[in-house]
A and B are shown apart, each in its own frame.
Chain A
């Protein structure tokens, strides 16, 4: 059973550039979550999808952030334009009611914006 897959694992970009992070949830999971982790703020939920539909995006910091889930096996988180304060580790997680909604996390994407 493959876990949650994220790409890229590391991303270094310059301020103002567009960044796209990708996630493949565990097969059969119907909920997908994007989190951001920083030393200052810990783990924060950015957005949550259920059956490919965004349910709560109240954690998205601002309009520069957008997320999509075009199908059950793929999601993207886009930052445009990126800023140095966006530097963080971004995690994707998925869950299924058939597994008690236990959330399983991907390895994360470490984003550095110069």
Chain B
């Protein structure tokens, strides 16, 4: 059974810092991995999707990497801003079935 863990559970940084969020998963037989952000009381917004054959994806100040063999993904946020404050969730989809297994999230606070 796939298990997804995110560390740290919470992170507080001053504006402008570069930061890394970690996601680990127990079963390396994955189809893809998605990073989402969730603002309080809101739905999930898809940030990046990495296919199992890819090593990384970039969107603006965000860069996500994937190391399937070690069961790890990282989300790198450059030059953080207060607007980046949210909970970040990673989710892994196994092969042959579209079910996403979610991590418990990292709650990020970027202070001005």
Binding site for B on A (CB under 8 A): 31, 33, 42-43, 45, 48, 50, 55-56, 91, 93, 95, 100-108, 110
Contact = CB atoms under 8 A, between A and B. Distances in A.
A103 B46 contact: yes
B76 interface: no
Interface in B23-75: 31-32, 34, 36, 41-46, 49, 51
Nearest to A106: B43
B99 A56 contact: yes
Nearest to A45: B99
Contact of A107 (B32, B34, B42): B42
B102 A105 contact: no
23 contacts: A31-B98, A33-B98, A42-B104, A42-B105, A43-B102, A45-B99, A48-B99, A50-B98, A55-B97, A91-B43, A100-B49, A101-B31, A101-B32, A101-B98, A102-B32, A103-B34, A103-B98, A103-B100, A105-B44, A105-B45, A106-B43, A107-B42, A107-B43
A104 B100 CA distance: 12
| Chain B contact residues, majority secondary structure | strand
A100 B51 contact: yes
A104 B46 contact: yes
Contacts of A108: 42-43
A45 B105 contact: no
Given A42-B105, A100-B32, A110-B41, 10 more contacts: A33-B98, A48-B98, A48-B99, A50-B98, A56-B99, A101-B32, A102-B34, A103-B34, A103-B46, A105-B46
